[in-house]
Amino acid sequence: MQLYDYEREHLDRLRSGLAECAVLLKKNGSFPLNAPCKIAAYGGGVRGTVKGGSGSGEVNSRYFVNVEKGLEDAGFTITTKAWLDGYDKAYQQAGKEFHKEIKARARKKHTLALIEGMGAVMPAPEYELPLTYDAEAAIYVVSRISGEANDRRPVAGDVLLTASEIRDILALDKSFDKFMLVLNVGGVVDLTPVAQVSNVLVLSQLGTETGSALADILLGKSCPSGRLTTTWTGWEDYASIGDFGERDDTDYREGVYVGYRYFDSVGKKPLFPFGYGLGYTDFALSGQKFTMDGEIVTLWVNVANSGKYAGRETLQVYVSSPKGELDKPYQALVGFGKTGQLMPGEEETVEITFRLSELASYNSKREAYVLERGNYILRVGTSSADTEVCGILHLEETAETFRVSNLCSASGFEDWKPEKEPPEEELKDVPVWEVLSKDIPHRSAVYEADEEINDFAKKLTDEELARINIGTLKKGGIQSIIGNASDRVPGAAGESTSSLIEKGLPGMVMADGPAGLRLSPLYYRDKKKVHTFEPTVPASVLEYLPSTLARFLGRTPRVKRGADIQEQYTTAIPIGTAIAQSWNIDFARVCGEIVAEEMERFGVQLWLAPALNIHRNILCGRNFEYFSEDPLLSGKMAAAITRGVEERPGCGVTIKHFAANNQETNRYNNSSNVSERALREIYLKGFEICVREMQPAAVMTSYNLINGVHTAESRGLIQDILRREWGFEGIVMTDWITAGFILSFGAHYAPPHAGRVAAAGSDLFMPGSKKDYKEVLQALRTGVLTRKQLEISATRVQKMALRLTRRNGNEES
């Protein structure tokens, strides 16, 4: 296969880091293997390997290495071809039945099969296929896929293992000394029925070279060093305090007790805790110490490789904060660091820093972030369940760190908190550092301030200002719904208006794909339009359309003689969860750099990623796009990817979905009802970290409402928190709001109104239609929206467009 130099270079840069994204959950010393051998490869993931999620997560790479090909390319002989053929037949039959079920569900709900089926997960099928044992080693690969518009379900073949999977996994573990259960998944699978298996690897979904990465790990060419970013346990063990999957209103009653914050606070032990992971080798920690300079805390830990293989260790720092006016989770992550590759016997000292003010909790009665008086206990270890106390920071007096205002309407309920507190620890011989309140910086938010309006915006007509605010004035339709609405770059999600180029406003092209750019891989242009060589919509969508429409959209155009065929193959990087599982800021930055190089190559200005919503519930269909259940880790990974992209001139990211976008069920019209404290400490914090550290080019609001108000219409969220409190200087756009008559059918809440969205401070209503344009002008006439606000938005859009369309000193057309 012929690859361009950029493709080869990008794949090579990724390959060396993929094992860092894989998490070894259990080991017995039988891996890595000494050499390629005869291997019995079972499970739907051997051939049906998943490189990433569906929907906007799909990426069109030139090729993809599944597990079967990865093993064979590495020199393994697969002895189970007949079993794999049998599984293929069972899967195909199950697929036919599943499509019938989707269409029946759509009829019952009076909606389109397209909407019901988008992102829907077909459970892995049950099967009856005999096992064979003519091999030196064996693997069973469990694959699961999910995507936008549908959530996962706690049923066999999705979150739960099927009876067939359990039966065969246990039989193989009993029959082979060298057996590995491999999880090619984007989210949690309940491993309770197979907890006794000796070797378990969360391979995750690693993009183009997923199968090659597994072969490397099995042979020890690269060693797994990932750590979980979400708590893994049995389905029944997760908290059911808050709602999930409700149609109209989803109450986040659990408050700040999300993920490990819940498990640790109630003393419940999960199967595999947050931050957990093993390697082929072992490590010993020693010499923990810390110091303070003002409010900056610095810790050092010595890490020694005490095992037989090379590897990397991840250090995590947690703090237990004192309870006062506010209840507090048992502990929260405040920093982390990862060693370099250590050979057996080698050592390294890891340094981790954080600011004490970053530990402040939000007190909605005081309308301020507060550090309460008492002991802040520092814990260092390798997971949330494996730490040692290394010091205490004692704050004599309560200190406010940031005075703000409550800006979201009330949730309508009191947050849950644990009835019992964990038993007090006996802390002896622990160093204590006295902290003075005067050493903690204090500031207050200023919400009223003048905003820039440039001469360009002042000279525009009302109609021109409205046009800038509304994407490209397309008619909408299926391509806009799935994010394929660009004229300049085939397959890109959309673009800002190019109708005012002569007045000094170039258009910006935006491409989707949280795991790489999603573009049409092949196309050509004639005098009339662009022709692509793949269906204009993904295959996962085509199968739920009426047959005539599906044939039309799924057709392959005839190539005219002499056509100049262009290629846009892009690199599929690991999914967001996998990148975060590396706990490696440098690797995350590399992923951003790869995307940026391809943005420049294909003429894309804004990447609609990274996505950093919280893993609030393991059923969320888009968790694979997101990083973690922890906001600090999410924010740090998003900032690193942003750095990688935006260090290249002319390239910008769009962090999303702002905010509290934690389920796909009725995602266009569901209200996430959440307290101001939980919103700020859990669901906004990652965005805040990324904005403060990196000033990303753009922020995308989410489809959902927060406490009954659409995020895109929330001036408190967009203008006051994002711009005033955090100092965001970029542009704000909506998610792709299209075909409102379909998406709001039978909805409890009315869809967003483009005029109200503009009045809230959003700069771009995407992808834009004539209906949206008319709504902006109507809002302007009725006083809902001011011309001044449109001038402010137009100024921001022009500044960003000029910045992103000037590459190497030249402005793009």
pLDDT of residue 538: 59
pLDDT of residue 109: 76
Residue 259 has pLDDT above 60, yes or no: yes
pLDDT band at 811, cuts 50/70/90? low
3-class DSSP state of 380: strand
pLDDT band at 542, cuts 50/70/90? low
pLDDT of residue 153: 96
DSSP E strand stretches across 210-327: 249-251, 283-293, 296-305, 314-320
Residue 115 has pLDDT above 80, yes or no: no
3-class DSSP state of 223: coil
Give the mean pLDDT of 697-702: 98
Please name which of 516, 673, 411, 477 lies closest in space to residue 56, comparing C-alpha atoms: 516
Q: How far apart are CA 593 and CA 648, in angstroms?
A: 8
200 within 8 A of 191, measured Cβ to Cβ: yes
Residue 746 has pLDDT above 80, yes or no: no
Please count the other Cβ atoms lying within 10 Å of the Cβ belonging to residue 148: 22
Least confidently predicted of 96-100, 199-203, 353-357: 96-100
Residue 739 has pLDDT above 70, yes or no: no
Angle, CA 149 vertex, CA 23 and CA 270 arms, to 5°: 35
268 within 8 A of 420, measured Cβ to Cβ: no
DSSP E strand stretches across 162-237: 179-184, 200-202
pLDDT of residue 774: 96
Q: What is the DSSP letter of 256?
A: T
Least confidently predicted of 180-194, 209-223, 476-490, 686-700: 476-490
376 within 8 A of 392, measured Cβ to Cβ: yes
Pinpoint the alpha helices (H) of 607-733.
631-646, 676-678, 685-694, 715
Q: How far apart are CA 336 and CA 353, in angstroms?
A: 8
Residue 113 has pLDDT above 90, yes or no: no
Give the mean pLDDT of 506-534: 89
Give the mean pLDDT of 85-102: 92
Give the mean pLDDT of 401-417: 94
Residue 478 has pLDDT above 70, yes or no: no
Give the mean pLDDT of 74-99: 95
Q: How far apart are CA 10 and CA 595, in angstroms?
A: 9
What kind and span of H or E run contains 524?
strand 522-525
Average pLDDT over the chain, rounded to an integer: 93
What DSSP line would sit under 420-487, residue for residue? Answer: SPPPPP---S--EEEE-GGGS--EE----------HHHHTS-HHHHHHHHSTT-B---HHHHTT---S
pLDDT band at 784, cuts 50/70/90? very high
pLDDT of residue 428: 86
Long-range pairs, 718-724, Cβ under 8 A, ≥24: 718/760, 718/761, 718/762, 719/760, 719/761, 720/405, 720/407, 720/445, 720/447, 721/407, 721/684, 722/658, 722/687, 722/691, 723/761, 724/445, 724/446, 724/447, 724/449
| pLDDT tens digits for range 678-691 | 999 999 999 999 99
pLDDT of residue 527: 77
pLDDT band at 116, cuts 50/70/90? confident
Q: How far apart are CA 496 and CA 287, in angstroms?
A: 55
Q: What is the DSSP letter of 501?
A: G
| pLDDT tens digits for range 3-17 | 999 999 999 999 999
| Whole-Å CA distances, 618 to 44, 187, 227, 231, 780 | 22, 7, 17, 9, 43
| Whole-Å CA distances, 153 to 621, 623, 665 | 9, 13, 11
pLDDT of residue 549: 58
pLDDT band at 548, cuts 50/70/90? low
Give the mean pLDDT of 658-671: 94
pLDDT of residue 553: 57
pLDDT of residue 606: 98
Residue with tokens 């979201």: 408
Residue 616 has pLDDT above 70, yes or no: yes
Give the mean pLDDT of 308-312: 97
3-class DSSP state of 395: strand
Give the mean pLDDT of 423-430: 84
pLDDT band at 741, cuts 50/70/90? very low
691 within 8 A of 727, measured Cβ to Cβ: yes
Looking at residue 306, its amino acid is: S
Q: How far apart are CA 336 and CA 275, in angstroms?
A: 10
pLDDT of residue 479: 53
Angle, CA 30 vertex, CA 24 and CA 36 arms, to 5°: 95
pLDDT of residue 813: 46
Please count the other Cβ atoms lying within 10 Å of the Cβ belonging to residue 436: 10
Angle, CA 333 vertex, CA 327 and CA 338 arms, to 5°: 170
How much of the chain, in percent, has pLDDT values that exceed 70? Answer: 93
Residue 812 has pLDDT above 70, yes or no: no
Looking at residue 481, its amino acid is: I
